[in-house]
Structure 1
Amino acid sequence: MQEFSGNSSFLRSLLVFVPVIAIFWFLVISPQRKEEKNKKEMIKNLKKGDKVLTIGGIFGVVKKLGDTDVILELSPNNEAVFIKNSIDKVLSEKNEVKKGIV
């Protein structure tokens, strides 16, 4: 009888553990994967002339794209090379006006 109660407590703890893992998955891992997928898609769709914001807070316009890097014009006659993964956002006209960046 004692062995049976040991299995019973194991099943109870398992019934608590499985929902905790499921909640963790849906609240943490799943959104992170979705965000990662969206960023890869955004980087894949970069094109010359796009206004972008880097993860360092630098605004620029895409001048040239390489396989792993991008050349941004930061101001007239001022260009810098960045790794594509350092691009945080592509800014559209709507985003700029909405946030007052213009």
Structure 2
Amino acid sequence: MEELMGFLLPLALMFAIFYFLLIRPQQKRQRERNQMLANLQRGDKVITIGGLHGTIVDLTEEKVILKVADNVRLTFERSAVNAVVNDDK
């Protein structure tokens, strides 16, 4: 019985450390990203995962249309948005 506890205790401890250092933070980042994508609105200034800066002019459940220059609008998947930029400078 002691041999079994001597084997299982370090294994359980390694799993707990793995969970708190890797799995839990990743789940938190994913929740925050999903919330950011769900809260996108017209007029938001965003950066895509490719590094393109633009302003949302229209959006649907799957697509986002960005204005990147005068008379230039590009359509992206909503999931291509990497970040919303706050220009509070």
Aligned residues: 89
Q: Which has the larger radius of gyration?
A: 1
Correspondence for 1:93: 87
- Deviation of the 1:93 alpha carbon: 1.4
**Cα distance in 2 between the residues matched to 1:65 and 1:25:** 36
Structure 2: state its 5+ residue gaps. Answer: none
* TM-score, scaled to structure 1: 0.82
Within-5 A mapping of 1:2-81: 7-81=1-75
Structure 1: state its 5+ residue gaps. Answer: 1-6, 98-102
Write the letter of the residue equivalent to 2:54. Answer: G
Runs of 4+ in 1 over 3 A off after TM superposition: none
Q: Which has the higher helix share?
A: 1
| C-alpha RMSD of matched pairs (Å) | 1.1
Higher relative contact order (CA 8 A, sep 6+): 2
**Cα distance in 2 between the residues matched to 1:12 and 1:69:** 54
**CA deviation vs aligned residue, 1:39-65 (integer Å, no higher than 9, x gap):** 111111111010001111111100101
Identity of aligned residues (%): 34
**Cα distance in 2 between the residues matched to 1:51 and 1:15:** 50
